Amino acid sequence: MSPDWSAEPVPVPYADLTDPQTLNLYNYERGNPMSHADPDGHCPDGICVNIATMSPAAVDRQAQNTTQVLIGEFKGAVNMFTSTVNLVLSGGTQVPGTGIPQLQPSNEAQAVGITAFNGQVIGAGAIEGGVAASEFVAGRIAEAAVPDANIVVRGGAGEMPAPGTTISGSHGATVEEAAQGVPHGQIRTSTAGDVRGAGGSVRSAPEATRSGAINQKHVNIREGTKQPSTFSPPKPNPVPKKDRIT
């Protein structure tokens, strides 16, 4: 029987080109089915997102939606994740009726839109159980929402905070796009890839402004310990003041 050469090639869904194992369509749970579950048949623990075919805006929306779904799904399933619970313990309270330590949403969990949806903080107690696991997922998604090629802007001419400090910034496909997300007249620029290459992280973290708009460009930046900083010296913000976030 000859192959059907008329068939159109189809991209491998859920592939991550930085992880060749994801291209193997006949692999299940990376060959470790005892340690993982795959409820939707795509990725270990069902945590992947098919972002290869999505626009950046769609990735951003997916990051927000998926995280909310995940947090919902993981609620009550915290027993599965006791090994990671200790990472995010906050205080001595417990999830009511479970005896399970109460968890607190991390920067990353909120970074993918929990605060941005309604402009209010969802604090300790609002999200129960499983946040440690969804935090891991949220972190990956929030990173994916800021591609390596994206420009990252830090507002102001002041000295860069110490490496390892999580600071605010803005991202975009161009300097102009990124620079809209900060109010400053002076900016420093880098790329998400350069920050990560130096051991740091850049994560999407939409935030509500005082006017109630959502600053979708806001990112949490943590510079790695490799020095010097990957950010440029201060330079004028090319975006007119009226077009910047306020």
Partner 1 sequence: MNHTTRIVYREFYDVPRMIIVSHCGLKLLLDCKFDESLDEYPTAYKVYALPLEVDESTLRSWDKLPQEATKYLGEIPVGQVIFDSTKRAEIDTASLDTLLAGQAS
> Which one of 66, 67, 106, 204 is in contact with partner 1 (CB under 8 A)?
106
Query: With CB under 8 A, what is the number of residues at the site for partner 1?
Result: 35
> What is the pattern of x (binds partner 1, CB under 8 A) and - over residues 58-97?
--------------------------------x-------
> What is the pattern of x (binds partner 1, CB under 8 A) and - over residues 182-221?
xxxxx------------------x-xxxxxx-----x---
Question: Alpha-carbon distance 184 to 88, whole Å?
Answer: 34
* 155 near partner 1, judged by CB under 8 A: yes
Residues 6+ apart with CB under 8 A from 222: 164, 165, 166, 167, 200, 201, 202
Shortest Cβ distance from residue 174 to partner 1 (Å)? 21
Q: Which is nearer to partner 1, 44 or 169 (CB)?
A: 169
* Beta-carbon-side half-sphere exposure of residue 15 (alpha carbons within 13 Å): 11
* 110 near partner 1, judged by CB under 8 A: yes
Q: Which residue has the tokens 């945590």?
A: 47
* 44 near partner 1, judged by CB under 8 A: no
Shortest Cβ distance from residue 142 to partner 1 (Å)? 14
* 238 near partner 1, judged by CB under 8 A: no
Contacts (CB under 8 A) with partner 1, residues 112-141: 115, 119-124
Q: Which of 16, 70, 25 is nearest to 47 (CA)?
A: 70
Shortest Cβ distance from residue 216 to partner 1 (Å)? 13
Shortest Cβ distance from residue 145 to partner 1 (Å)? 17
Binding site for partner 1 (CB under 8 A): 90, 104-107, 110, 115, 119-124, 155-158, 161, 167-168, 182-186, 205, 207-212, 218, 241, 246
